[in-house]
Amino acid sequence: MSHVRISDAARFLGVSDDTVRRWVSAGSLTSVTDGAGRMAIEGRELATFAKAQAGTAQEVGSVSSARNRFVGLVTAVKADTVMAQVEMQCGPFRVVSLMSSEAVDELGLEPGSVAVAVIKSTNVIIESLEGAS
């Protein structure tokens, strides 16, 4: 079974190490000791916890077939007369979208505004950070 260090769990969940430790103290997560004697969380338990913590489409007032929705803060908008690049920080994730400048204006997107990145893709590449087994 894979174990995830507290610092990595915090990074994956977009919270501080102390928050993860508080969840362990409160019994929301169970800690184990990894092979190096450090506090860790079992990977499967962390995945279940992360899924339960994730927001749903209903919380942001919209329904669509896309299941990957990230609420975040617009950090940059670079626009010309036709196209724009919008950058958002969604928890620990940086999301970049290309859209028309007209859409940016209609949505009122500017640095500091809150928005939802809706991602629907037919190509998703997943890499393992652990060695092949």
- Residues 101, 70: Cα–Cα separation, whole Å: 21
**pLDDT score at 6:** 93
Domain boundaries, the chain: 3-54, 59-119
Into which CATH architecture does domain 59-119 fall? Answer: Beta Barrel (2.40)
Pair of tokens at residue 21: 């430790």
Cβ-contact 87, 75 below 8 angstroms:
yes
> Quick check: helix, strand or coil at residue 109?
coil
Give me the pLDDT at residue 66, please. Answer: 66
Q: Specify the CATH class of 3-54 in words.
A: mainly alpha
Residue 61 has which token pair?
Answer: 């007032």
pLDDT given at position 58: 46
Q: pLDDT truncated to tens, each residue of the chain (133 aa)?
A: 688 899 988 888 878 899 999 999 999 999 999 888 999 998 889 888 887 776 543 455 566 666 778 888 889 999 999 999 999 988 778 889 999 999 999 999 998 888 888 888 777 767 776 655 4
Say how far apart CA 120 and CA 84 lie, in whole Å: 19
Note the pTM of the prediction, 2 decimals.
0.56
- Residue found under tokens 């949505």: 107
